[in-house]
Amino acid sequence: MADDAKIKFDPEAPPEAWLNQAKTLSEALPFMRRYSGETLVIKYGGNAMGDPELAQLFARDIVLLRQVGANPIVVHGGGPQIGAMLEKLKIESEFIHGLRVTDKATVDVVEMVLAGSINKHIVTEINAAGGFAVGLSGKDGNLIRAEKLRRTVQDPDSNIERILDLGLVGEPKSITPHILDFFEQSDITPVIAPIGLGPNGETLNINADTAAGAIAGEMDAKRLIMLTDIKGVLGEDGKLIAKMTAAQARDLIKKGVIKGGMIPKVETCLDAIDMGVEAAVIIDGRIPHAVLLELFTKHGAGTLITAD
């Protein structure tokens, strides 16, 4: 482990501080054993990725996961950065029902930003923290084979449904795990940009949550961890729901308790669980070391969704 990733004791600190640090490590040990040798798919984005200090802490957390024997796979987004670059290049986007239509010019920028600057920045941070990371996109090794995503909307007046063509927006059709299997046998952490390869060789932009869920399912991950900009799933009283089953989550969606942008995130978790992932968790990426708090403490750091 790199020197700056090692646990350091302050010689000027009182003995109680050393004891507290030793107690924390002791309490974390059973959790470290639980995840040793296990695959963890982590969707990384939002404020956690945009804040330089949080980005550095996230990179150190990934290095620590490797050091305790876990196999982290990072899948990242980059919506704000894509929007900023499109604006800088004066490429206008068309939106239909709030969804961006992705044409050839737009998808070229998406790939440049996701598989280029963002991906390599995350890789650099992990390597600087003492790890060994390699950046990929879903096009590398045919990792993510995708098909065009089509959304159906209903006209409120006529109740007639029609299909929205969002252009070069995709959803995973299949995951080719060979390259990730190789990384699992090494000390290399893959960092994946959610760009897929369409049936005719075209580049397709894929939602990062969806890509992470599909990869977690294919890799039989023990955990799918999704970093967000809120505490997790909130109940009717506005308080965090620390744990729920898949059946309870579906019921809360049906009742309208889980709503808005949280619905697709929870549905991604449910899809991953249906594919065999032991559990999925939605955590607040604005909290320093949120990933470690979720994995290595009793109370966790968000909403854990388990199989029924």
Write out pLDDT tens, residues 225-253.
999 988 899 999 989 999 999 999 999 99
Per-residue pLDDT band for 3 (boundaries 50, 70, 90) equals very low
Least trusted range by pLDDT, from 87-101, 185-199, 264-278: 87-101
Tell me if 67 sits within 8 A of 98, measured CB to CB: no
Per-residue pLDDT band for 192 (boundaries 50, 70, 90) equals very high
Give yes or no for residue 199 having a pLDDT over 80.
yes
Residue 271: the pLDDT is: 96
Residue 97: the pLDDT is: 63
Residue 33: the pLDDT is: 78
Segment 157-175 shows an average pLDDT of 83
Per-residue pLDDT band for 7 (boundaries 50, 70, 90) equals very low
Residue 189: the pLDDT is: 97
Residue 98: the pLDDT is: 62
Per-residue pLDDT band for 269 (boundaries 50, 70, 90) equals very high
Q: At the topology level of CATH, where does 29-306 sit?
A: Carbamate kinase (3.40.1160)
Most confident of 1-10, 15-24, 215-224: 215-224
The bridge status of strand 195-197 relative to strand 203-206 is antiparallel
Residue 217: the pLDDT is: 96
Percent of the chain with pLDDT over 70: 86
274: left (phi over 0), alpha (psi -120 to 50) or beta: alpha
Tell me which residue of 42, 45, 53, 89 sits closest to 272, measured CA to CA: 42
Give yes or no for residue 277 having a pLDDT over 80.
yes
Per-residue pLDDT band for 6 (boundaries 50, 70, 90) equals very low
The DSSP result for the chain, as a single string, is --GGGS----TTS-HHHHHHHHHHHHHHHHHHHHHTT-EEEEEE-THHHHSHHHHHHHHHHHHHHHHTT-EEEEEE--HHHHHHHHHHTT---EEETTEEEB-HHHHHHHHIIIIIIIHHHHHHHHHHTT--EEEEETTGGG-EEEEEEEEEEE-TTT--EEEEEEEEEEEEEEE--HHHHHHHTTTPEEEEE-EEE-TTS-EEEE-HHHHHHHHHHHTT-SEEEEEESSSS-B-TTS-B--EEEHHHHHHHHHHTSS-TTHHHHHHHHHHHHHTT-SEEEEEETTSTTHHHHHHHSSS-SEEEEE--
Residue 157: the pLDDT is: 66
Tell me if 266 sits within 8 A of 253, measured CB to CB: yes
pLDDT tens digits for range 11-51 = 565 666 555 655 566 666 666 778 888 999 999 987 788 88
Residue 218: the pLDDT is: 96
Segment 299-304 shows an average pLDDT of 86
Give the C-alpha separation, 10 to 14, whole Å. Answer: 9
Residue 2: the pLDDT is: 45
What is the chain's mean pLDDT, rounded? 87
- Whether the model pTM is above 0.85: yes
Residue 121: the pLDDT is: 95
